[in-house]
Structure 1
Amino acid sequence: MAISRIAFGTKEEATHPAALRAALSEFICTFIFVFSGQGSGLAFSKLTGREATTPASLIASALAHAFSLVVAVSVGANISGGHVNPAVTFGVFFGGKITLVQGLMYWIAQLLGSTFACLVLLFCTGGLPTGTLGLSGINTTQGLVLEVAMTFGLVLTVFATAIDPKKGSLGTISPLAIGFIVGANILAGAPFDGASMNPAVSFGPALVSWSWENQWVYWAGPLAGAAVAALTYELFFRPLIQEQLVADRGTEG
């Protein structure tokens, strides 16, 4: 069972050069992702003189987030795994793939990367406020379930294409698959709750703008969705994959 493989790690792990490089990678990759995603919204508002709440801005936001996430995941894939998201890190930890110490280092790096991206945008745009996520026409329970559902799809995609030991050629296109599911979820969920799927995406703008309304939804929903996705893959899909691997080795022998 996946939960039986959860490891806490050691304090020495926190100062290991490889762990520090991985954390730096998460900082940089999250910066890239949030800078482009938030920047696209600011650019749209500046060019149109309106808030980024139109169908055109929705498509632009989905494309900007999808493209930048493909790049961010690709950059970090061979260094840190390219999580770029505390929810993904939590799912990977819950699936027994990284230790708690490493996961906490990733979280700190991701939250700092998001915050730094928003501060740079604030400076470069002459003080334009970064957009904070909020609920529109739905209550907190609906927003929570929406975040759970969207993050479930995202983390399940991560496990299937980036973590699965039998991913084969899917491993080469995993950044595309991950970027596409985020872009698609933004098209589906952004008009209702901003489509976070990523606590770092909501945390950085909230900290810089000091606006924390319903922030818990953007933590509880993604973390719960990630945990369910990790358990689903490890309990229902992983045994079938391992059986196939054994069968393949038997055939080769």
Structure 2
Amino acid sequence: MPIRNIAVGHVGEATHPDALRAGLAEFFSTLIFVFAGEGSGMAFSKLTDGAANTPSGLIAASIAHAFALFVAVSVGANISGGHVNPAVTFGAFLGGNITLLRGILYWIAQLLGSTVACLLLKFATGGLETAAFGLSAGVGVWQAVVLEIVMTFGLVYTVYATAVDPKKGSLGTIAPLAIGFIVGANILIGGAFDGASMNPAVSFGPAVVSWSWENHWVYWVGPLIGGGLAGVIYEVIFIGYGTHEQLPTTDY
């Protein structure tokens, strides 16, 4: 298994120009994604005078997130790998494809990008609230955790299959599209139950700006478990121990 590739990294890595550029790329990619995704929900709320979500609203959120993630991954892919998600970064770390120190740098950039996006949205919309993720009536915390695990597993598994696997060939050219599609599809599944985060950064920004932390841990535990499992399983079973050289840290 690829445990041998897991590395803490060098102390100087956090200040290396390439790492800093990669972190900045993650910041902007996450900002782009959250601004469009969270903003689509705020726009729907304004158009419906704050009415409860409807099937059309769920579809709109799915499309907005799919499109925005496609763009966010695409613009960051050549610089940082376009993770745009701490769960993707965690899965890449457990698979031996990024060092711990660079992963922490990515996490900081992703969380800041999400927070800044929500602050910009609140200012640009005249003070409208960026709603924090929450559970729907009748959905328990552990049900939501399982939902987030499965959805994030599907997301990170897709990332590995289309962007990380050295045998991906020409499939790698459509990786951002496939990644956007799986997130859009998962929103159609989980949006009505827990908001379908699959991304701790996406949940973090709205929670900070609205200062609402109820059940926030669900949106960390579920995605990190799902992303970690996907990274290890795909790396061990489908890429295999000793069958490839360690990928550059700027890849997924």
TM interval, shorter chain, is over 0.9
CA RMSD of aligned residues (A): 1.3
**Alpha-carbon displacement from aligned partner over 1:164-219 (angstroms, at most 9, x marks no partner):** 10111110000000000000000000100000000001000000000000011000
The alpha-carbon deviation at position 45 of structure 1 amounts to 1.1
Structure 1: gaps spanning 5 or more residues: 246-253
Matched with 1:19 is: 19
| Matched ranges for 1:51-90 at <5 A | 51=51, 53-90=53-90
1:39 has 2:56 as partner: no
SS in structure 2 opposite 1:169? helix
The alpha-carbon deviation at position 82 of structure 1 amounts to 0.1
SS in structure 1 opposite 2:36? helix
Structure that is richer in helix per residue: 1
Does the CA-based 8 Å contact 1:41-1:52 persist in structure 2?
no
Q: Which amino acid aligns with 2:223?
A: P
Change (3 A) 1:204 1:170: same
Q: Which amino acid aligns with 1:9?
A: G
1:102 has 2:98 as partner: no
Question: Given the two structures, how large is their TM-score scaled by the length of structure 2?
Answer: 0.94
Matched with 1:222 is: 223
Does the CA-based 8 Å contact 2:2-2:241 persist in structure 1?
no
Q: Which amino acid aligns with 1:201?
A: V
Structure 2: gaps spanning 5 or more residues: 245-252
Q: For the residues of structure 1 that align with 2:185 and 2:75, how far apart are their CA atoms?
A: 22
Change (3 A) 1:51 1:110: farther
Q: For the residues of structure 2 that align with 1:62 and 1:71, how far apart are their CA atoms?
A: 14
Matched with 2:174 is: 173
Identity fraction in percent: 69
The alpha-carbon deviation at position 10 of structure 1 amounts to 1.3
Does the CA-based 8 Å contact 1:44-1:52 persist in structure 2?
no
Q: Which amino acid aligns with 1:116?
A: V
Runs of 4 or more above 4 Å deviation: none
Return the structure number with greater relative CO, CA threshold 8 A, min gap 6.
2
1:92 has 2:88 as partner: no
Q: For the residues of structure 2 that align with 1:241 and 1:10, how far apart are their CA atoms?
A: 23
Tell me how many residue pairs correspond in the alignment: 243
Indicate the structure (1 or 2) with the bigger Cα radius of gyration: 1
The alpha-carbon deviation at position 5 of structure 1 amounts to 1.4
Q: For the residues of structure 2 that align with 1:91 and 1:3, how far apart are their CA atoms?
A: 13
Question: Given the two structures, how large is their TM-score scaled by the length of structure 1?
Answer: 0.94
The alpha-carbon deviation at position 241 of structure 1 amounts to 11
Matched with 2:125 is: 125
